[in-house]
Chains A and B, each alone.
Chain A
């Protein structure tokens, strides 16, 4: 099956710093989503981005499908950004089956 790798696995930032999270996948995908998992376990949708670039406030994401990677940028980080960030992909022909990466655990300190 498809492999989804995220880096770095852990990240500690001071409030106000910027960061880039990376997601590499081993095969072609139809869909790619970025999620933020809050401390209560809920997965919050950040981006639905099979290709191209999108921005939402301090967050932006870029997916280069032909090179099989996606990047999530967090600017001016805040303590509320802490949590685990997941990238998940859908292979063609697998309907809605998301394959998740192992996540990046982000801690933003004061």
Chain B
């Protein structure tokens, strides 16, 4: 079974531009989450999508947005790029398996290789 894929793997942009990153989850996984990793802030949660709906959102400005398509693929967009947006962006997918009304019963997450964004 193929893993989580992310495109592009590397990206160089200039301040003020916008960027779109793509993530294809593992087949059968319905939840897709995005994380930002920087040396100063570590790994931080951006948002999570499930069945084309944003289910959870981290503490990031509105310049960061995302969406999920009916095939569970997800994109995230960053508008008006700033130097501080330079980071490794990681996407994760999970099966989001629930049973008997229990939440979070089995939700192991698997990460893609990441997109390394450099803003000049």
The reply to whether chain A is a binding partner of chain B is yes
A residues near B (Cβ < 8 Å) are 30-31, 33, 35, 40-43, 45, 48, 86, 88, 90, 92-100, 102-103
From B35, B88, B114, B116, contact of A98 by CB (8 A): B35
Judged by a CB distance under 8 angstroms, whether B107 is at the interface is: yes
Contacts of B45 in A (CB 8 A): 97-99
Closest to B104 in A: A30
B residues near A (Cβ < 8 Å) are 31, 33, 35, 37, 42-45, 48, 50, 55-56, 58, 88, 90, 92, 94, 96, 103-104, 107-114, 116
Closest to A101 in B: B42
B37 touching A96, Cβ below 8 Å:
no
Contacts of A31 in B (CB 8 A): 104, 107-108
Closest to B55 in A: A95
From B31, B104, B111, contact of A43 by CB (8 A): B111
A45 touching B108, Cβ below 8 Å:
yes
Given A41-B90, A93-B103, A95-B31, 8 further pairs, Cβ under 8 A: A30-B107, A33-B108, A45-B111, A95-B56, A96-B50, A96-B92, A100-B43, A102-B42
- A86-B43, A98-B35 given; A92·B104 CB < 8 A: yes
Contacts of A94 in B (CB 8 A): 56
Contacts of A102 in B (CB 8 A): 42
Closest to B37 in A: A41
Bound complex: CA A93 to CA B102 (Å): 10
In the A-B complex, the 5 residue pairs with the smallest Cβ-Cβ separation, listed nearest first, are: A30-B104, A100-B43, A48-B108, A43-B111, A41-B114
B43 touching A40, Cβ below 8 Å:
no
Bound complex: CA A88 to CA B107 (Å): 12
- A30-B103, A86-B43 given; A95·B111 CB < 8 A: no
With most chain A CB atoms within 10 A of its CB, the pick from B58, B90, B96, B111 is B111
